[in-house]
């Protein structure tokens, strides 16, 4: 088959697609990865064939420009779906996310060139990152089958289903679905009609295990999460087994380039761990490090270390709840302490706590003593380790990327007939 | 930004609409008005008045809910009506939309026949529509709007073969007043643009090439029908809430004008008047710079307790409406005022005489993204 994979140019969103791209390629399929030019180096570093399309998107600039007003709005959106939000909140989220994120990250030039490329290359299957609706548009315009590759629980779809349920109870004059509106005129450029599959894909490829995956009634191919953390080199120090329990502390890669305000004070994080009898490995950029008044003696600061190499040696991980970090810790059975307040991060943190495999600390409830206490619990209570192992078992029980290739071939064949 | 394609127009409308939600999220009352969702309009008006005679919204606009300051702003030639997009510049009496201020007096068509319909014509058309309506019908979409579209179409001598198209264009143009402040969806924006162009061309064919008549006719279709429809719907909403006043109108048909005037004050068909400062000026002790947006919240100003007793009560026996600010002269809105007043009073007289038992049978539905008109699109009634 020819498989066109696509992701908006945000590294963390792309990384979740790499092992599947390798598996498809290793199975003999032609695989190309399309994104805005900014991601070309990242794609080729993963050993994949890049197709730069359009111009770089300006979502990051928008976040920087609008600052706390926008991030405050994002923070108030209930991505977990557990607050039981009313129609107005769901509509606000749909309107604002389409205006400031979906339509920005899928800029016209990118959509147009992706469609051009798909019409030229004639893929059998387009696999798209769940916010990269350009992939669905390109599939519709070129006649390919298309699937969404989820990197986390499908909160977007749950929120969308709730929004549409509410909206459909209203008189038709009051229907106002901004995402549909944007996709309608976008598809119209290529002579296609809107269809809800453009939003939800023909099927999902879901990397979350049972217990985390949301049952939303869509055709789903479950797939084991295999970490890919970017260009990876093992540092010498990692060969030494830790003499004390090792804790990984990271804020992920996305916050490095984005103008999101700091989730927590790094000084407070360090103060909480300074007196513990542990070894801390903190991944911080130079800029993040410059904010820190004092790095404790038990802490090694490094700009980057591949989490798939580091985490197997760790007894706990402290992080922001991002999809890649969370999943990598989960698949290695490492108990996690997640400090999260935004996007899908909150849901993952809560589910983790529900399953006993870690702790969730909302940043506004965070204290130095609370953080220290949480870490001590993770290290001393065996239940955290045991439940984290159970989560790991659930994850590795799913078929590997190589294992799902036949299912993707079959689904593509069905859609194309 | 120059808009070249539909997608670019859609994107610019989408972004502007997103910003309205963003500003509204912080609780700014004017931004909440523009968002035009579930907020209680009276509570927002009160909050705006409570912020002082002139407050600066997070959207950048200066906003007043004061009657005195509102009257000053609307009468100040340095504060001009905003040149609307969507081809509406011509309807507002402006040749070409652009940065240069253009006098609104150009082609002022206040004397045109279409803008001064005869009460007898309105009553005849209204009786005819009521004759077709059953025992339950929609007051707005089955009676009021068809009456007004027929009226304008007769006065403009629209050829019978073009009536359906004309009706469709009038419908598409109904969002014009709201579109000036609240970005419509792309299909509605395109339909509005097309309707305004189509109406102008049609009028140029049927009414001759007299510019004044074309402007007057287009205004009647784009602004007049909508303002009059909302004026009637708002009056009926208030009257049917208070059966005693509805009976009073039936007993004294001569109070129809008073009911219309009270609605213009109490629940105006055009709630926000948006101006742009041509030069720097002082308003209520604040310095407004050239290019700033200045908005009079007509709905709030008309209920300014400083000038009126029990302003939140609809009362058609009121001796004075306290000099409300609705449909003032010298503006495109002022030029449709005679049409709105006369036609509304005529329709009310017919409704009260023919359907004394009229009652609302369900909730009204208001149009989406309609912060200026809060236009009612569904008004189910039974006789």
- Whichever domain contains B339, its CATH number is 1.10.630.10
**Most confident residue range from A138-147, A231-240, A275-284:** A138-147
* Averaged pLDDT for residues B119-132: 96
Answer yes or no: is pLDDT of A31 > 80. Answer: yes
Q: Which range, of A300-314, B82-96, B250-264, averages the lowest pLDDT? A: B82-96
Answer yes or no: is pLDDT of B102 > 90. Answer: no
**Most confident residue range from A247-261, B118-132, B311-325:** B118-132
Summary mean pLDDT of chain A? 93
In this predicted structure, what is the pLDDT of residue A254? 64
Which structural domain range is residue B126 located in?
Answer: 6-382
Same domain, A249 and A383: yes
Same domain, A338 and A358: yes
Residue B1 lies in a domain: no
Tell me the pTM.
0.91
Q: What is the C-alpha to C-alpha distance for residues A113 and A189, in angstroms, rounded to an integer?
A: 12
- ipTM of the prediction: 0.89
Residues in chain B whose beta carbon is closer than 8 A to a beta carbon of chain A? Answer: 6-8, 10-11, 14-15, 17-19, 21-23, 25-26, 37-38, 185-187, 365, 367-369, 377-378
* Averaged pLDDT for residues B19-29: 92
* Averaged pLDDT for residues B105-114: 55
Interval A178-197: pLDDT, tens: 999 999 999 999 999 999 99
Residue A181 contacts B where some CB pair is shorter than 8 Å: yes
Measured in angstroms, the CA of A96 and the nearest CA of chain B are apart by 5
* Chain B residues closer than 8 Å to A69 by CB: 22-23, 25-26
In this predicted structure, what is the pLDDT of residue A71? 84
* Averaged pLDDT for residues A9-32: 96
Same domain, A54 and A199: yes
Q: Quick check: A108 and B6 CB within 8 A? A: no
Residue A249 lies in a domain: yes
Summary mean pLDDT of chain B? 89
**pLDDT band, residue A57 (cuts 50/70/90):** confident
Q: Quick check: B378 and A171 CB within 8 A? A: yes
Answer yes or no: is pLDDT of B291 > 60. Answer: yes
In this predicted structure, what is the pLDDT of residue A83? 85
Contact by Cβ (8 Å): B369, B181: no
Give the count of Cβ contacts less than 8 A between chain A and B. 71
Domain count, chain A: 2
Interval B181-213: pLDDT, tens: 999 999 999 999 999 999 999 988 875 667 788
Residue A230 lies in a domain: no
Answer yes or no: is pLDDT of A336 > 50. Answer: yes
Q: What is the C-alpha to C-alpha distance for residues B330 and A267, in angstroms, rounded to an integer?
A: 64
Q: Quick check: B22 and A96 CB within 8 A? A: yes
* Averaged pLDDT for residues A7-21: 95
Residue A261 contacts B where some CB pair is shorter than 8 Å: no
Angle between helices A133-142 and A108-121 (to 10 degrees): 40
Q: Quick check: A76 and B368 CB within 8 A? A: no
Answer yes or no: is pLDDT of B101 > 50. Answer: no
Interval A239-273: pLDDT, tens: 999 999 999 998 876 666 555 556 678 888 889 88
Residue A62 contacts B where some CB pair is shorter than 8 Å: no
Share of chain B above pLDDT 70, in %: 92
Residue A122 lies in a domain: yes
Interval B247-286: pLDDT, tens: 999 999 999 999 999 999 999 999 999 999 999 999 999 9
Which structural domain range is residue A306 located in?
Answer: 236-396
Same domain, A179 and A277: no
Give B205 or A404, the one with higher predicted confidence: A404
Answer yes or no: is pLDDT of A169 > 80. Answer: yes
Same domain, A293 and A360: yes
CA distances from B237 to A171, A226, B361, B378 (A): 19, 62, 12, 12
Measured in angstroms, the CA of B185 and the nearest CA of chain A are apart by 7
Q: What is the C-alpha to C-alpha distance for residues A329 and A391, in angstroms, rounded to an integer?
A: 10
**Between the CA atoms of A279, A283, A289 and A294, what dihedral angle is there, to the nearest 10 degrees?**
-10
Q: Which range, of A35-44, A267-276, B107-116, averages the lowest pLDDT? A: B107-116
Same domain, A260 and A196: no
In this predicted structure, what is the pLDDT of residue B209? 60
* Averaged pLDDT for residues B334-342: 93
* Averaged pLDDT for residues B1-15: 81
In this predicted structure, what is the pLDDT of residue B62? 97
Token readout for A31 is 């695989």
* Averaged pLDDT for residues A291-307: 91
Measured in angstroms, the CA of A343 and the nearest CA of chain B are apart by 17
Residue A87 lies in a domain: yes
In this predicted structure, what is the pLDDT of residue B98? 35
Domain count, chain B: 1
Residue B326 lies in a domain: yes
Answer yes or no: is pLDDT of A172 > 70. Answer: yes
Same domain, A46 and A183: yes
Answer yes or no: is pLDDT of B111 > 60. Answer: no
Q: Quick check: B18 and A88 CB within 8 A? A: no
| CATH number, domain containing residue A263 | 3.40.50.2000
**pLDDT band, residue B88 (cuts 50/70/90):** confident
Q: Quick check: B17 and A70 CB within 8 A? A: no
In this predicted structure, what is the pLDDT of residue A255? 63
Residue B187 lies in a domain: yes
Token readout for B341 is 């007043």
Same domain, A155 and A51: yes
Q: Which residues contact A355 (CB under 8 A, 6 or more apart)?
A: A211, A387, A390, A391
Residue A124 lies in a domain: yes
Same domain, A12 and A95: yes
Residue A346 lies in a domain: yes
Token readout for B198 is 């189509």
């Amino acid at each position: 088959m020819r498989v066109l994979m696509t992701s908006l140019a945000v590294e963390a969103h792309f990384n979740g697609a790499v092992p599947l791209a390798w598996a498809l390629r290793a199975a003999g399929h032609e695989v190309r990865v399309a994104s805005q030019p900014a991601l070309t180096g990242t794609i080729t570093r993963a050993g994949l064939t890049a197709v730069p399309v359009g111009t770089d998107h300006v979502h990051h600039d928008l976040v920087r420009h609008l600052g706390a007003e926008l991030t405050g709005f994002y923070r108030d959106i209930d991505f977990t779906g557990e607050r039981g939000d009313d129609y107005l909140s769901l509509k606000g989220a749909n309107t604002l996310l389409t205006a400031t994120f979906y339509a920005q990250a899928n800029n016209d030039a990118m959509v147009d060139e992706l469609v051009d490329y798909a019409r030229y290359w004639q893929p059998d299957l387009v696999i798209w990152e769940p916010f990269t609706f350009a992939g669905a548009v390109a599939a519709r315009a070129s006649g390919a089958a298309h699937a969404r590759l989820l990197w986390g629980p499908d909160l977007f779809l749950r929120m969308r289903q709730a929004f549409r349920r509410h909206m459909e109870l209203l008189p038709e004059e009051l229907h106002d679905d901004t995402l549909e509106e944007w996709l309608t005129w976008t598809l119209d450029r290529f002579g296609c009609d809107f269809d809800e599959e453009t939003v939800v894909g023909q099927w999902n490829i879901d990397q979350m295990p049972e217990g985390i995956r949301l049952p939303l009634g869509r055709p789903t191919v479950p797939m084991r999460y295999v970490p890919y953390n970017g260009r990876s080199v093992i540092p010498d120090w990692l060969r030494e087994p830790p003499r004390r329990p090792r804790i990984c502390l990271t804020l992920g890669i996305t916050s490095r380039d984005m103008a999101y305000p700091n989730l927590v004070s790094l000084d407070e994080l360090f103060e909480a761990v300074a007196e513990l009898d542990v070894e801390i490995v903190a991944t911080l950029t130079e800029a993040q490090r410059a904010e820190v008044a004092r790095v404790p003696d038990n802490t090694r600061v490094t700009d980057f270390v591949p989490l798939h190499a580091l985490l197997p040696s760790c007894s706990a991980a402290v992080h922001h709840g991002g999809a890649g970090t969370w999943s990598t810790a989960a698949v290695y059975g490492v108990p996690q302490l997640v400090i999260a307040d935004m996007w899908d991060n909150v849901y993952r943190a809560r589910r983790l706590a529900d399953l006993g495999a870690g702790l969730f600390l909302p940043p506004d409830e965070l204290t130095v003593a609370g953080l220290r206490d949480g870490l001590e619990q993770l290290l001393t209570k065996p239940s955290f380790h045991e439940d984290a192992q159970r989560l790991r078992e659930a994850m590795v029980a799913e078929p590997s990327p190589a294992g799902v290739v036949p299912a993707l071939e079959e689904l593509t064949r069905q859609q194309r007939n | 930004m120059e808009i070249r394609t539909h997608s670019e127009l859609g994107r610019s409308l989408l972004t502007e609409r997103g910003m309205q939600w963003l500003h509204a999220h912080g609780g700014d009352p004017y931004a909440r008005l523009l968002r035009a969702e579930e907020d209680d309009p009276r509570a927002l008006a009160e909050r705006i008045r409570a912020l002082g005679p002139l407050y600066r919204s997070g959207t950048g606009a200066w906003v007043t809910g004061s009657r005195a300051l509102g009257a000053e702003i609307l009468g100040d030639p340095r504060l001009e009506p905003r040149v609307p997009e969507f081809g509406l510049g011509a309807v507002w009496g402006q040749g070409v939309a652009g940065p240069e201020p253009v006098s609104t007096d150009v082609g002022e068509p206040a004397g045109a026949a279409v803008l001064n319909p005869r009460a007898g014509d309105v009553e005849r058309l209204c009786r005819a529509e009521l004759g077709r309506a059953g025992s339950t019908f929609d007051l707005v979409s089955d009676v009021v709007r068809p009456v007004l579209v027929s009226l304008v179409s007769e006065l403009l001598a629209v050829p019978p073969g073009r009536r359906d198209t004309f009706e469709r264009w009038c419908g598409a143009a109904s969002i014009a007043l709201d579109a000036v402040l609240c970005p419509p969806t792309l299909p509605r924006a395109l339909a509005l643009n097309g309707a305004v162009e189509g109406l102008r061309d049609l009028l140029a064919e049927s009414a001759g090439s007299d510019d004044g008549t074309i402007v007057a006719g287009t205004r009647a279709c784009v602004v007049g029908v909508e303002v009059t429809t909302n004026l009637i719907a708002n009056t009926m909403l208030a009257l049917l809430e208070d059966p005693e006043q509805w009976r009073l109108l039936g007993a004294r048909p001569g109070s129809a004008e008073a009911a219309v005037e009270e609605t213009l004050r109490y629940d105006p068909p055009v709630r926000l008047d948006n101006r742009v400062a041509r030069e720097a000026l002082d308003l209520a002790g604040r310095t407004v710079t050239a290019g700033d947006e200045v908005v009079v919240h007509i709905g709030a100003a008309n209920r300014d307790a400083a000038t009126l007793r029990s302003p939140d009560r609809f009362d058609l026996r009121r001796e004075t409406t306290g000099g409300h600010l609705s449909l003032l002269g010298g503006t495109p809105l002022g030029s449709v005022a005679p049409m709105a007043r006369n036609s509304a009073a005529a329709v009310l007289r017919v409704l009260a005489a023919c359907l004394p038992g009229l009652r609302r049978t369900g909730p009204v539905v208001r149009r989406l993204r309609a912060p200026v008109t809060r236009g009612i699109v569904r008004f189910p009634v039974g006789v």
